Amino acid sequence: MTNTLHRYGNADSFRDDIIVFAICSRGKNDEGALEKLRKFLEMAIPFKPVNLGDARHGGCLRPSTDMDPTSHWNRDMTPDLDAVVKGLDAPTTVAAVFDNRTAAEEFFKAVKQADLGMSINISTDVDTAEEICLNAGTPRHSVGYSLGFEGKTELLPNSQVLELSTMCGHGMVSHSMAKKMIDWVKEGRRTPAEAATYMTRFCSCGVFNPARAARVLESSRSKTK
């Protein structure tokens, strides 16, 4: 079970959305875990993740208290991966988010080779996750399935809003925020990449995927549902 389990979409929609987690267990393997988790994050950087984060401080794009009315037009949009590594100050869940399978698979192989002694979780469609494990020479231990939404699904937002908002498993990217970004892109007020970075900042654990978000926003230009 992870906070990414309920990302909305069919299997193909996760072709550019693969998350690799590392976490220790309190009282079991948490001795020296901080340095091991930091090493996990450092190892991810050469494989060019689109987001990197820890559950205490967030991802490589974060909110700021230093704002003024012009900030949205001149704000630095550069992801700061090193800040995530340096800011890790206690054992927690850490994650690297990739927009392509090759990078995710090579990183997973490197993590296996490093043998950090942490629990490693891959979150994407089940077939891809299992193939990544097998190609790295390790069978998967277990699998978690999301059974989707039940009940009055007609009251849910449209599929594009759900694909965006559910990328933050803690619910920090609201449906209204996602819809606003879709509207701004349609109106030409922001590019898909700019709108994606806005939403990324709200994800408190750093697992929001700005590459997938930009793709969804781009596709929304010509769709209404």
**How much is the pTM?**
0.92
How far apart CA 213 and CA 219 sit, in angstroms, is 10
Q: Structural domain tally of the chain? A: 1
Residue 73's domain spans which residues?
11-220
State the burial class of residue 22 (Cβ atoms within 10 Å of its Cβ: 0-12, 13-18, 19+): buried
Residue 146, C-beta contacts closer than 8 angstroms, at least 6 positions apart: 5, 6, 7
How far apart CA 15 and CA 2 sit, in angstroms, is 19
Q: Is 6 within a domain?
A: no
Region class of 104: left (phi > 0), else alpha (psi between -120 and 50), else beta: alpha
Closest among 141, 208, 210 to 169, alpha carbons compared: 208
Q: Is 94 within a domain?
A: yes
Q: Is 31 within a domain?
A: yes
Rg (CA), the chain: 18
**What pLDDT tens digit does each residue of the chain (225 aa) get?**
578 989 999 999 999 999 999 999 988 888 899 999 999 999 999 999 999 999 999 999 988 777 777 776 677 788 999 999 999 999 999 999 999 999 999 999 999 999 999 999 999 999 999 999 999 999 888 998 888 888 999 999 999 999 999 999 889 999 999 999 999 999 999 999 999 999 999 998 899 999 999 999 999 887 654
Q: Is 81 within a domain?
A: yes
